[in-house]
C-alpha cells in the first residue's frame, strides 16, 4: 500500500498491510521525494508520533497537500519548504480539520513550536548543559582550593602523636649511650707545631680523665669539652708511650660522671660493644659492633725510627666504626661498662695524594681495660708507668717463627741481663721463645705484647727452643720504668 493510504479514525487501529481488499483506495498521489542521500524513487516514510486530531475521515483527506513534481534533486530543501515559524503543526478549530500523518512530508522536519516559545534543539541543549556543568565545576573547585589555602596558612602532613618518653632499655645501644655520654669528653690539643683532637672518659670525681698518649703527647694547651658543650682547661698528669695511655686532669668541675670499669678478661668474641668518640671532631658520636677477636697483638707509632715511640698492645679487635678522633674513647660492653680504650685502626691500602686521614674499614683495636686500669693508677700516683720485663734483649731481625734472644745486648752488653728474671729462669743467648703460657708467639713484637699484658711480679711459663729441643722455663716478671 502506498504512503498516502487513509484510515478511518473511528475504526480500530490496524496494520496498514492488513487492510481488506474491498476497501476503497485513497486518491492516487505523487511519490514523495526520495530520502536525503537515497537513490531516486519512492521510499517508505517514517510516521511522526504526534497526536492525531479528532474529526471525520473526509477532513483528513482535505489536509493532504497537493502532489508536487519530483525534481529528482534528493535534498531536503527540494522536498518541502520549511513551515512558517509562527505556524502551529496541530490544526486549530478554524483551520481545515483534515490531517494525515501519512502524507508526504520532508523526512527531516523540525518542530519550531509556537511563536514566542522557540527552544534550542536537544543536542544544542545537551552541549550547553554540559559546558555549563563543567564551567560550574571548575569554578567551584578553584573557589574551594582558594578558600582552603586562605583558611590554612600552614601545610601540615599527617604524623603520629608524640609518645610518652619511657626511655630505652639499659642494655640497648640507646640506653648505653644515654648512660655513658655524660662521662665522655672531647680533647682539643695544641702543640708546638700541630694540633689534634681526641677523646677521653672520666675516671673519678677528682677530675682524672684517661686518654691515649698520642693524643696529648707534646701538648702545650689541652681543652676538655663535655657532652653538655661546656669546655675547661686540663693539665697533663702523665703518659706512657709503650702503652699509649695518658691521664689528664680538670679542676673546679662539679657533677662529674665517672664511667664504670669492666673486666676485659670476661670479654668473648661476638659480644656486642658500643664505641663513643669524636671522629673527625664530631663529638659525642656513638657507633656499635661486636668483639671480632681478643688478644690481637698490634704495634702502633714508630715514627721516630728508633723504637722509642712504639706502643705494644694485646688488643681487643672490634668492627664498631672507629676513626681518627676516636682515640682514647671508651669501648663499652652491653652493661655500659668500659672494657677497652679505643686506640688504633687498620686503614685500607692505598690512599689519596692529599694526605687525608683514612677512615674505618671495620678493623678497630682497643687497649684492654685491665691494662688501662693498672697504667692509669700508676700515672695518677707517680706520673709514670712501669713495664713488666724478663731481662733479655731480643733479635728483632730474626725472621724465623718465635722470638729469638740476641747474642749481644745494646752497647755490647750481655743479651741476658745478669741477675734478671730471664737469667734466673735459665734463658740463654740464642734461645728461641715460642710460647707464653702455652700461647704461641711468632715474633719479637708478639713476645713483648704478651709480657706487657701482665703486671710486674706475675709468673709466666715460657716454652724455649734450644739446640732443636723444646724446654719449659718458669719466670717471674721484673719491672722497668716506662717512657
Which residues are catalytically annotated?
A: 214, 244, 327
What is the Cα–Cα distance from 134 to 128, expressed in whole angstroms? Answer: 10
3-state helix, strand, coil in the chain (%, to 5): 20, 25, 55
Class of residue 150 by CB neighbours under 10 A (exposed 0-12, middle 13-18, buried 19+): exposed
Q: Quick one: which H or E segment has residue 338?
A: strand 338-345
Class of residue 419 by CB neighbours under 10 A (exposed 0-12, middle 13-18, buried 19+): exposed
| Secondary structure of residue 225 in the 3-state scheme | strand
What is the Cα–Cα distance from 356 to 302, expressed in whole angstroms? Answer: 20
| Secondary structure of residue 38 in the 3-state scheme | coil
Quote the longest CA-to-CA distance of the chain: 160
Phi and psi torsions of 412, nearest 5°: 80, 5
Per the document, the length of the chain is 483
Sign of the C-alpha dihedral, residues 62, 6, 51, 32? negative
Please say whether the beta carbons of 74 and 33 come within 8 A. Answer: yes
Neighbours of 406 (CB within 10 A): 19
Strand 219-226 to 330-332 pairing: unpaired
Helices (H), 298-349: none
Three cell numbers, residue 256? 662529674
Please say whether the beta carbons of 289 and 244 come within 8 A. Answer: no
DSSP structural state of residue 445: H
Three cell numbers, residue 137? 565545576
Amino acid at each position: 500500500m502506498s504512503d498516502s493510504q487513509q484510515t478511518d479514525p473511528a475504526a480500530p487501529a490496524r496494520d496498514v498491510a492488513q487492510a481488506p481488499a474491498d476497501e476503497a483506495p485513497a486518491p492516487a498521489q505523487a511519490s514523495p521525494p526520495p530520502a536525503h542521500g537515497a537513490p531516486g524513487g519512492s521510499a517508505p516514510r517514517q510516521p511522526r508520533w504526534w497526536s492525531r486530531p479528532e474529526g471525520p475521515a473526509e477532513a483528513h483527506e482535505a489536509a493532504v497537500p497537493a502532489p508536487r513534481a519530483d525534481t529528482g534533486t534528493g535534498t531536503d530543501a527540494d522536498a518541502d519548504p520549511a513551515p512558517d515559524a509562527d505556524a502551529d503543526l496541530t490544526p486549530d478549530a478554524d483551520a481545515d480539520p483534515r490531517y494525515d500523518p501519512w502524507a508526504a512530508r520532508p523526512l527531516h522536519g523540525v518542530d519550531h513550536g509556537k511563536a514566542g516559545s522557540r527552544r534550542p534543539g536537544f543536542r544544542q541543549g545537551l552541549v550547553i548543559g554540559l559546558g555549563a556543568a563543567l564551567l560550574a565545576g571548575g569554578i567551584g573547585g578553584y573557589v574551594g582550593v582558594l578558600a582552603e589555602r586562605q583558611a590554612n596558612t600552614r601545610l601540615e602532613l599527617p604524623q603520629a602523636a608524640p609518645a610518652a618518653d619511657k626511655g630505652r632499655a639499659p642494655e640497648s645501644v640507646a640506653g648505653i649511650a644515654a648512660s655513658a655520654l655524660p662521662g665522655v669528653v672531647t680533647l682539643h690539643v695544641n702543640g708546638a707545631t700541630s694540633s689534634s683532637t681526641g677523646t677521653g672518659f672520666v675516671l673519678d670525681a677528682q677530675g682524672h680523665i684517661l686518654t691515649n698518649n698520642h693524643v696529648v703527647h707534646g701538648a702545650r694547651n689541652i681543652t676538655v669539652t663535655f657532652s653538655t658543650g661546656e669546655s675547661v682547661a686540663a693539665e697533663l698528669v702523665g703518659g706512657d708511650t709503650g702503652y699509649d695511655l695518658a691521664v689528664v686532669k680538670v679542676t673546679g668541675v662539679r657533677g662529674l660522671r665517672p664511667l664504670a670499669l669492666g673486666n676485659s678478661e670476661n670479654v668473648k668474641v661476638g659480644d656486642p660493644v658500643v664505641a663513643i668518640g669524636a671522629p673527625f671532631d664530631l663529638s659525642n658520636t656513638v657507633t656499635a659492633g661486636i668483639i671480632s677477636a681478643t688478644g690481637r697483638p698490634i704495634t702502633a707509632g714508630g715514627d721516630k725510627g728508633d723504637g722509642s715511640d712504639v706502643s705494644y698492645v694485646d688488643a681487643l679487635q672490634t668492627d664498631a666504626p672507629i676513626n681518627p678522633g676516636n682515640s682514647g674513647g671508651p669501648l663499652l660492653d652491653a652493661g655500659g661498662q668500659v672494657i677497652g680504650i679505643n686506640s688504633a685502626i687498620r686503614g685500607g691500602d692505598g690512599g689519596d695524594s692529599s694526605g687525608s686521614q683514612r677512615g674505618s674499614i671495620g678493623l678497630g683495636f682497643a687497649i684492654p681495660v685491665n691494662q688501662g686500669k693498672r697504667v692509669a693508677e700508676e700515672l695518677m700516683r707517680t706520673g709514670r708507668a712501669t713495664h713488666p720485663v724478663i731481662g733479655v734483649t731480643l733479635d728483632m731481625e730474626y725472621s724465623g717463627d718465635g722470638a729469638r734472644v740476641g747474642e749481644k745486648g745494646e752497647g755490647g752488653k750481655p743479651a741476658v741481663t745478669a741477675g734478671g728474671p730471664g737469667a734466673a729462669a735459665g734463658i740463654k743467648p740464642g734461645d728461641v721463645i715460642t710460647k707464653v703460657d702455652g700461647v704461641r708467639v711468632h715474633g719479637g713484637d708478639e713476645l713483648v705484647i704478651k709480657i706487657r699484658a701482665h703486671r710486674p711480679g706475675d709468673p709466666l711459663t715460657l716454652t724455649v727452643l734450644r739446640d732443636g729441643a723444646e724446654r719449659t722455663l718458669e719466670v717471674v716478671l721484673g719491672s722497668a720504668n716506662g717512657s
